[in-house]
Chains A and B, each alone.
Chain A
Amino acid sequence: MSPAAWSIQGLTARLGGRLAVNGANLVARPGEVVGVLGANGSGKTTMLRAGLGLIPAEAGAIHLAGERLETLPEARRARLAGYLPQERRVSWNLAALEIAALGAPDLSPARAREVAAGSLARVGLAGFEGRGVLDMSGGERARVLLARLLATRAPLMVADEPAAGLDPDAQFLTLELLRAEAGCGAAVVVTLHDLTLAARSCDRIVVLHRGRVVADAAPREALTPTVLRQAFGLDGALVEVEGEPVLVARRAP
């Protein structure tokens, strides 16, 4: 069997002195979409950051495609993993094509622009190549940044809240595009707050609660009433509507 695209074992990491991730495990294999869920402050982003080497891990073993993260040169790490951070701030009014092309600094500028034009078309922004990103709506800018992630062509794509602040159609489009990447053999890891969207779009769900993994299974097995109550403080369950899972829940008393 080929090695997992991303393997995090026993990860412990701090955020501002606080233990944000405490002995967490995560595995993402080629072809699957893994959703990392949890309440605010449960350690999702810290796990992704430490798992990619953006912040130091206090303990744990991290591998990208079977190679130890600590010994990976920067360029090799970039080829193995693409990252879309939660923060969507862009500092200069660069054209959409220029931003998307930044996903492929390993290619020649001309080739990078070709790849970038392709990924802009996939996110539905064909014809917007020359538009400055600061002249775009928040949703359009999010799509440009997604196009940059797609342009990395990395075998592991990690997206931190890619659906946050988007309209329903754009949320579905974002997850569809990431699913398509998985269909082409990439491993995809996303954090999401919309549990219904997560249950419908992910192959597997990892639920974090206070820095620990409390569930790691297919959506219906992971999001049980017990987990919903423990990790999210919700009374409820996933129900079937037209063959699709839908969360019905309210705040637990």
Chain B
Amino acid sequence: MNRFATLPVLGGLLLASLALAILAGETAMTLADYRAALFYPASPVAEVLWTIRAPRAVMAALVGAALGLAGAALQGLLRNPLADPGVLGVSASAGLGAGLTISLGLTAIPLAIEGAALGGALGCGLLVTALAARFRTPEALILMGVSLSAFAGALSALVYNFAASPIMATEVLTWMMGSVANRDWPDALTALAPMIIGAALVGWSARGLKMLALGDETAALSGLPMARLRAAAVAGAALLTGASVAASGVIGFVGLVAPHLVRRGVGDDPARTLAPSALTGAILLVLADLAARVIPTEQELKLGVVTALFGAPVFALVAWRAARSWRG
């Protein structure tokens, strides 16, 4: 694809997938119903479309965009095609923050879950960056990330284990599985604010991400304010991931897969991978949530389960290719 056509095409695909997610669903509708939904806002079908399906689809788009952007930023920052908020433990740490807040019964405090998720993501982001400076090989960093992720997952399981009541346990488990079911417009607005700040930080760091392709030393002497650009990338990716987890729980692999799908189309440039990754992440998650809704199952599929089922094989494929290039 021509690199100048990438953004409009992806933007169009996102609008199309949002429209599909709003129009399609378990409730069968006739053409007359759709007409009613469009022209009579008070009708029951309008309620289904605009207060149930639309905010849910928009929330999926926001979370997908945030995770896609966070993944692209982390991959550029760490110079590693396997980096992703999930693989590096950023998502699991945010999930741990949210789980702790629930199990301690602090959910009544406004923005407590959001704050805890952001804090968990930021802490893990800083740790990963420090580890990346210490261990220069891509394999070592991924292994560190895997252990961080496993540890945060284990602590989350512990929180689940010690949950005071079955209801609380279910709530914690829901965070760990990830879902955008029953989200409304105010939820989307709450998620939007930290995501916008995170996206701005990542966008500002873009030229630093490109310079880092040449290695730390060249970047350090390039004249760019690398320390600030790196900090912006880490903080931005952590804000995006934390806000996503606060909004929808832990959803894996979007941050890994989205940059992978667009990288070739933008000439492998880590700066120009950012915006298309956000759009691709949004499209993927809107479609994945649509699948979770319409695939007929007794219990509704959780979004995080759907993305993991599709994402894990892609992760294996990327790892396969990356391992071959590292060997050469």
Given A74-B223, A79-B223, A95-B267, A49-B217 contact (CB < 8 Å): yes
Provide the bound-state CA to CA distance between A145 and B215, in Å: 12
B231: min CB distance to chain A, Å:
14
B215 and A94 contacting across the interface, CB-CB below 8 Å:
no
Provide the bound-state CA to CA distance between A178 and B90, in Å: 46
B43: min CB distance to chain A, Å:
52
Of A74, A77, A85, which one neighbours B218 at CB under 8 angstroms?
A: A85
A102 and B214 contacting across the interface, CB-CB below 8 Å:
yes
Cβ of A105 < 8 Å from any Cβ of B?
yes
Of B223, B267, B270, B325, which one neighbours A77 at CB under 8 angstroms?
A: B223
A105 and B213 contacting across the interface, CB-CB below 8 Å:
no
Residues of B within 8 A of A52 (CB): 221
A92 and B268 contacting across the interface, CB-CB below 8 Å:
yes
B269 and A78 contacting across the interface, CB-CB below 8 Å:
no
A77 and B221 contacting across the interface, CB-CB below 8 Å:
yes
A102 and B268 contacting across the interface, CB-CB below 8 Å:
no
Cβ of A110 < 8 Å from any Cβ of B?
no
Provide the bound-state CA to CA distance between A136 and B28, in Å: 56
Interface flags for A19-52 (1: CB within 8 Å of B; 0: not) read 0000000000000000000000000000001001
A148 and B214 contacting across the interface, CB-CB below 8 Å:
yes
How many A residues are at the interface, by size bracket? Answer: 20 to 34
Provide the bound-state CA to CA distance between A77 and B224, in Å: 10
Of A79, A87, A93, A102, which one neighbours B211 at CB under 8 angstroms?
A: A102
Within 8 A of B (CB), among A72-128: 74-75, 77-79, 81-83, 85, 87, 89-95, 98-99, 102, 105-106
Cβ of A132 < 8 Å from any Cβ of B?
yes
Cβ of B212 < 8 Å from any Cβ of A?
yes
Of A90, A94, A106, which one neighbours B223 at CB under 8 angstroms?
A: A106
CB nearest neighbor in B for A98: B269
Provide the bound-state CA to CA distance between A134 and B218, in Å: 18
Cβ of A1 < 8 Å from any Cβ of B?
no
Within 8 A of A (CB), among B208-260: 210-215, 217-218, 220-226
Residues of B within 8 A of A74 (CB): 223-226
Interface flags for B102-115 (1: CB within 8 Å of A; 0: not) read 00000000000000
Residues of A within 8 A of B263 (CB): 92
Provide the bound-state CA to CA distance between A98 and B223, in Å: 17
Given A98-B269, A105-B207, A132-B268, A92-B213 contact (CB < 8 Å): yes
B221 and A78 contacting across the interface, CB-CB below 8 Å:
yes
Given A85-B218, A87-B217, A102-B210, A93-B223 contact (CB < 8 Å): no
A105 and B211 contacting across the interface, CB-CB below 8 Å:
yes
Specify which of B80, B211, B221 lies most central, judged by the most chain A CB atoms within 10 Å of its CB.
B221
A146: min CB distance to chain B, Å:
12
Given A94-B268, A98-B267, A105-B222 contact (CB < 8 Å): yes
CB nearest neighbor in B for A85: B217
B104: min CB distance to chain A, Å:
42
B214 and A78 contacting across the interface, CB-CB below 8 Å:
no
A125: min CB distance to chain B, Å:
17
Residues of B within 8 A of A94 (CB): 210, 213, 267-269
Given A94-B267, A98-B269, A134-B325, A78-B222 contact (CB < 8 Å): yes
A53: min CB distance to chain B, Å:
8
A105 and B223 contacting across the interface, CB-CB below 8 Å:
yes
Residues of A within 8 A of B220 (CB): 54
A78 and B223 contacting across the interface, CB-CB below 8 Å:
yes
B268 and A54 contacting across the interface, CB-CB below 8 Å:
no
B221 and A89 contacting across the interface, CB-CB below 8 Å:
no
CB nearest neighbor in A for B220: A54
B134: min CB distance to chain A, Å:
13
B215 and A85 contacting across the interface, CB-CB below 8 Å:
yes
Residues of B within 8 A of A92 (CB): 79, 213, 263, 268-270
A87 and B215 contacting across the interface, CB-CB below 8 Å:
yes
Residues of A within 8 A of B213 (CB): 90-92, 94, 99, 102
CB nearest neighbor in B for A87: B215
A54 and B211 contacting across the interface, CB-CB below 8 Å:
no
Provide the bound-state CA to CA distance between A198 and B270, in Å: 38
Interface flags for B70-100 (1: CB within 8 Å of A; 0: not) read 0000000001100000000000000000000
Of A81, A95, A99, which one neighbours B221 at CB under 8 angstroms?
A: A81
Given A54-B220, A94-B267, A99-B214 contact (CB < 8 Å): yes
Provide the bound-state CA to CA distance between A83 and B79, in Å: 20
Provide the bound-state CA to CA distance between A48 and B115, in Å: 45
Interface flags for A49-75 (1: CB within 8 Å of B; 0: not) read 100101000000000000000000011
Residues of B within 8 A of A77 (CB): 221, 223
Residues of A within 8 A of B221 (CB): 52, 54, 77-78, 81-83
Q: Which 10 A-B pairs have the closest CB atoms?
A: A78-B223, A91-B79, A93-B268, A92-B268, A75-B223, A85-B217, A91-B213, A83-B221, A92-B213, A94-B268
Q: What would 10 more interface pairs be, CB under 8 Å, given A83-B218, A92-B270?
A: A77-B221, A77-B223, A89-B215, A92-B79, A92-B213, A94-B268, A94-B269, A102-B211, A102-B214, A106-B223
Q: Could you list some 5 contacts between A and B, CB below 8 A? A: A74-B223, A87-B215, A94-B210, A94-B268, A102-B213
